Amino acid sequence: MLLTFLIGLLAATLRVATPLIFATIGEGLTERAGILNLGIEGIMFFGAFSG
């Protein structure tokens, strides 16, 4: 019972955190390229709102 709950919790956490992970990776790559993107939170919000 506990193992099933933990597996479900881990799966839900990964499912919810995936967009944040992708945004973080993208922001890290743009920072390494020398581009400063201050609007990443707004871009994520607008994408979530319109998608």
Per-residue pLDDT of 21-47, as tens digits, reads 898 899 999 999 999 888 888 888 888
Judge contact between 27 and 14, C-beta under 8 A: no
Residues 10, 16: Cα–Cα separation, whole Å: 10
Model confidence at 16: pLDDT above 80: yes
User: How many helices, marked H, and strands, marked E, lie in the chain?
Assistant: 2, 0
Closest CA to 5 of 13, 38, 29: 13
pTM of the complete model: 0.66
Model confidence at 14: pLDDT above 90: yes
| pLDDT value of position 10 | 97
Closest CA to 41 of 32, 26, 16, 51: 26
| pLDDT value of position 6 | 97
